Structure 1
Amino acid sequence: MDRSQPQFAPPFKIALLVAGLLTLLGLATSMSVGMVQLQAAASAYLSGLSVWNQSQIGAVHHLSRYAEQGQRSDLQAAREYLSVPLSDRHGRLELEAKSSDDVVVAAFVRGANHPDDARLMIWLYRDFGDLGQLQRAFSLWRDSDPYILELARIADDLEHYWRGPPNPQRLQQLKQALHGNNIRLQQLASEFREVMTSTNRWLTDTLTLASLVFFIVFAVLASLLIWRLVRLLQGTQEKFQAIFTQAAVGIVHLDAAGVVTRANPAIADILNIQAEQLTGTPLRDFVHPEDWEIDDAQCRQLATGVLPRFTVEQRLNRLGGGVLWARLTYSRASSAADCVVIVEDISESRRLSKELNFQATHDVLTGLYNRRAFERRLGESFKRARVEGTSHALCFIDLDQFKVVNDTSGHFAGDRLLQQVVDVFRRELRDCDMFARLGGDEFAMVLENCSLEAAEKVAEKLRAALEEFHFSWDGHSYNISCSIGVVAISATAQNTESIMRAADIACYLAKDKGRNRVYVSRENDQFQQQREGEMHWLGRIREAMENDRLFLDAQRIAPLQQETDLLSYEVLVRLRDESGKIVSPAAFLPAAERFGAANQIDRWVIEHTLSLLAAHPKHLQKLAKCHINLSGVSLDQPEFYTFVVQCFERYPVPPEKICFEVTETAAVNNLLEAIALMEALGEIGCSFALDDFGTGLSSFSYLRRLPVDTLKIDGVFVRDIVDDKTDLAMVRAINEVGQTLSKSTIAEFVENDECLQLLKAMGVDYAQGFGVHKPSSLIELLKETDC
């Protein structure tokens, strides 16, 4: 052996050679990327020119049509097309002003360029814009500015022309200007294309030659570096042993039979055994018996050369007891029959992974599955129902008194309630059933291999268990119940969304029918179909509002106890369908209430009513009260008060002339919010009427708490007072209560003179109904009285 030669290469020499190779590789990569980027940048300008040219042509086309026909849609389309070259121009000006890249990119993107292309365009313009060919192209681009701006001016002039009196001569001038601009812009675009195409060809030729030269230089230098590196690596054999001994991960060498021939100290520490004891022992002896078959197929493929390496995770038994999770990476050794195995202890990382996975799929508060995991499980059950024909069921659960606990005892109590409710439910469920919290007090269950009839029994058992449960907090005791909707997860369903929607509707129906009950939705369920129809109305209502198909009627309210020239009426919202037919309020208002659109309708009515009143000042002088209905949804909207105040600020209508009507049910269900809103609006002068009074269960007990000025006696009692003594007594009692509390009364559904006289005799203040006035257009009523 020639001891004058080193046995292994010094690390710095290897690092230097590797750095040299990497530098060459980096230069080659940079060269290639630069070449591609240059060509891509030139192509981006050509692509942008195509879009620019199409937009310019489109703008001219629509301006020509607009000049002939005067259609606003053509003008709008022309301006949309013009926005492309105008945005490109804006981007170039920002480039020349040395604005930030983000500002320029935003402008180019508005000009229909891809964001990646936009950055290439910036780079080419800034770094290579002074090259002869590119300088000529960009100069042509600047030359197009006056003509593009002229197109925009022509669009404005055409718009002014069509708004003013006809002037054929002026129109002809604009057409000629448009034609001339179009010709010049086409010429400039053609010249730009020729220059950029020529530049692209020149770039391709130049870059190809440069690539060839660079490749030759790169090949020579790389060969020299590789030759030197190979010589240095020949001396690294001794280092391998040091690495093998000092490695932090376990390393073992196996023969063809899987027996350990060499083992480093790290694997001995992992398995709690001496390295010498490992030698001659099959590695499989340390693998947990349940994991033996995990790597059988891969080991055979490794032995036959099909796989060069593979990684598997298995449990290993430590000497003296204990099990750990390890990641084993098998690699073929120099001998085809042998292999090297790297062993890493991953017990801690698996524990953390399992914990993170639990947090990602479970609700933090209750420990139940969350919505994400629930939807995945529902999808799997639905797939099984379709593929295997199995029967499953879905239950939606909503707590009935959760809001009461939250409002009276605080959110901490509400959280504790949810945890205890979950404990109650868990005791009644099978291990195979999935129980999830969807959010708030809403839960869902997927009952596997369960018929609808069996699911109903499970749901009823849960409901009964919760009914017997009493929640105590801070000296208070609450009776808790729930409403449960049950549907089948069947193969006939459209998708999981339709199943969830059906379960949600079933849960709603359980609440609607009195709460603390189970509602099972079966095939062709009429209530389910009705509810779905109401949901369909939600989209129709929003479309009607967007297309201005809502309008206002008004029904007069007549005084019974005194003569007056002042006018009172109730504003009634109406809707026209797509064919122009008027839709009954009973068809769309319940849907709006249930699905949250009623608040938008309330705002529309208030805005339009005040706007119309402000536009008819003479009518406003004769107006005593204008009644406007409010839905229960509006009562608990924190910003609703601000909206009403802003409307009064926009329209000069005295708040004293506006009376808001709130149904008794809505007021009681939102008692605190209703009182707060009534008191706040009362301070600025508005009054309130309690609508449909007498139908609720708590009318008289809550009446003293509500700051209302007027009671509207529900028409169900008024309609038949001539023939029904019970109804007559009810109306008389309600009127006396109102008078005692110094509140005026209005009887609804007054349909004949005999009824009118009875109401007048018993002292009712006002009457409303077809016998007094049939609803008519509010606009017509305004015109009649605004004189």
Structure 2
Amino acid sequence: MKTILLADPSLTRRRALSALLTQSGYGVTALADLSEAYDALNRMQIGQGSVDAVVLGWPDYSEGIVEDVFGLLHGERLEHLPVLVMADSSNAKAVNWRMARPRTALTLWSEYLEAPSAIAHLLRPEQSVGEAASLHLEQVKVLLVDDSATVRLGYSRLLQKHGYHVETAESVEDGWRKVLAQPFDIAIIDYLMPQQNGTALISRIRNHLETQHILTATITGTYSDAVIAESLASGALECVFKSESKDLLLARVASLARAINDRKAIDNERRRLQSILSSVGEGVYGVDCAGTIQFINPAALDVLGYTEADDLIGLQAFDAFHHTDEDGSPLQRGASFLNQCYAMGKEVSSWQTCFWSASKKGIPVECNIHPLHMDAELNGSVIAFRDISNRRALEKELRWQAEHDNLTKLHNRAWLESQLEQECSKVRRTGQTAVLLLLDLDRFKYINDTAGHVAGDRLLMEVAQRLKSRLRSTDYLARMGGDEFAVLLTNVGSSEIMALADGFRRVLIASPFNYGGKSYRITLSIGCARIDTACFTPGDAMAYADIACHMAKRSGRNQCQVYSPETGKLAALDADLGWSVRLEEALRGDRFVLCYQPIVPLNGMELDSVESKNSKDVWLRQLERNPESEAMFEVLVRLKGHEGDLISPVAFLPAAERFGLMQDIDFWVIKHALAALRETRESPRSIALTINLSAQTLEKGGVADYMTARIVEYNVNPAAIVLEIADAHAISDRERVQRQLAQLRQLGCRISVGDFGVGFANLACLKQLEADIVKIDGSLIQGLPGDELDRTIVTALTSIAEIARKTTVAECVEDMSVLRSLHQCGVDMAQGYAVGMPRLHLPRTLPSSFAKPEQEEKRLSEV
């Protein structure tokens, strides 16, 4: 089993990640203190260590021990130990550290489920860097020039033994002939020789075009400043002394060999890149910061209509091909977006513009701009571009097809709905009236079945042309599908609706439809929906026009009907369907809103003599009286209406349950509630949230995994989360729900059960679901404080909860006298309008102690 050392100060994240890695088959040692991690890593013996990989949460602070730990992992002893860094998305330092260290990966906390696969990848055996490099190194060729045969023999054997290919020469002239005859990488030349000193050969090698790539060194038996100075001045890179050790000589030659191999690698890479640049299908060119073209590949020349790169290199790219806009209007040099990118080093993807060819033809192109930096300074940009003329034409065709009906060439339903949306917005702004007409052919099925589908298609095309003849320039016509058409009439007076609608009907029935030698009478039923301040949503307009069209058909066909609330109402199913669509749109567009209602402890209520109806006073006072208790809030969800109003869940949750949307809504609430809780981490007082979960969500499964993932992502304390099951009586699969709740409780969350005291089934739920908190149903406290029976029931329920060691919460408290009565009955906590109204935001600061009466009076006047 592979062993992982995990270090992170967050208990929540350690628990979640430890559980995940354990499930994946790893042994985990979890540490909260970086000092302990440093000691454990220091004790490790390479090849005998008890740790196979390290997982570190990137710290959001910097101190000595942090630098020690990360420095140790970056050191030579541990640099090949696999390390996975867990960080938040905004941490650039973590990214930089990962890039600078081998066998290191980075995973975001929001994607912590990917950690096991990231570690598995890091633990794969890797090929030795030295082995891989040696497979590709070419043998270095050395020319050794010395007038002593003994020296030539001894040094050539030494160099050959260490992998060098060695040729020898006995004089300057002999060496020069061999240099010209075959390629060498290094020339080691004796300084003092009979005819000419070795520096003469070094100078020739350096100054000759075909040999100047050879690296040269002098070898001498005398250490002299003058010899060294003359050698270096002639072009030698090294001075080797015959008196020094062989190891030192080999080290000097190895340094030259490394330079040779590095240069060869660079030359090979340059040739490879040049080959890629020449063969790449996209146009590529490079400019300096002033926009002057430095290089350009064949594909770019082909697109722009040039034959030679020299025709463009040295010119300003602006002057050469992007001086004019797509519509033909000249661009100002300073206003050119590409010129600005060249000068500022902007990186841009998928920028569409127009290049102009050698023949002055405009070419639509898409560019990707990549700045080049050298030694941290901008050194120009590389621009890759492609001709998108064909794509533009295809996009235009696809756009036409997406918005039109292929048979009639009219616009289609999707296009009309988008126009309807715009028209409804216009009605809201201007107060004008528009009308939607839904037109349905009365005898289309008969003609289609008796005369054939070709006749049906011909009829639809003829109907389209007749309807177009009645359109005003501001109206819209579309085929909705089948034999249905729609007309959107803009800026229409109420008195004109029937006349305009009947005009379309009359133009259609004015003459029969002729096909195959037969004539067919055409009639039309039209439903009209007025779009004004009473109806200004697209969904309403479509529904009302459809109802009116059905009314026209039921009334005998071949007529027009205008919808009004008195003549037709949507069925209950239609309303539910509308809610379904609305809720799905709200989930996609984040149109839900969270409110937070305080739940406060009742301890100290006997001291309260303030008769204020300001609920803010009550919950703040009770928090001050109970400085050790957490500040708890219930999370309430609202739907944002089209006018910005907040819609109660009573209106939309029944539809959400019927259409299976409860889990989506519950997950939305969990995500945004935990995000809000994260923002209160700096609060001096602990804040807890009660989040409602429906029975449907719990029975569907997956809530425990989702909650775990969000707790890790937002790094919040699970103990600050209370999950409330309001409809526990509706749970049918108790075992599955119990498993979900057990997993959540193991994570550290608390469980609350609502509707406590309503029916015996609820008492059974209390035992089966192992709740930490029970909420006394609001119906049982309405008679307090006057009703003795209600008082007895509440006291009995409180006693049951106390025996079971559960915290009791009374909900729906709307009166101060009820609040005091609940305290007298032994209830622990309460919520309701008498305690505190729902708030749109969690408080950032909260009272931590009880103020004196005169201080309290002053503070309440300031709240």
Q: TM-score with structure 2 length normalisation?
A: 0.35
Between structures 1 and 2, the one with greater strand share: 2
Between structures 1 and 2, the one with greater helix share: 1
